[in-house]
Amino acid sequence: MFGQKKRKQQRHLKALRSTYDDQLLAAIDAAKDNWDHAKQTQEAIADTDNEMTANTALARQVYLFLYREARRRNVRSKHIAATVFQD
């Protein structure tokens, strides 16, 4: 009776936060893959130019920005990243 509206709002906000947290984790995974690809490309090419170096640095900064945002929001992933199992 009393406080039902507040509890309903809190449940809605929790569900909304969970949705955006999942999207943030997906964006972090995509940014990590993009950064890894840029690093591998830069290492594979003998003559790298400034644009390639800048793109690699940009991919790194995007990943680090998303990672810091997840840390700030206290987001935890429920799966283990594929980078943990590299041979």
pLDDT at 15 (0 to 100): 86
pLDDT at 8 (0 to 100): 82
Spatial neighbors of 25 by CB under 8 A, at least 6 apart, are 70, 75, 77
Closest Cα to residue 34, out of 68, 58, 54?
Answer: 58
Counting the structural domains of the chain, the total is: 1
pLDDT digits (tens, 9 = 90+) for 10-66: 888 888 899 999 999 999 999 999 999 999 999 999 888 999 999 999 999 999 999
pLDDT at 68 (0 to 100): 96
Domain ranges, residue 74: 4-85
pLDDT at 4 (0 to 100): 80
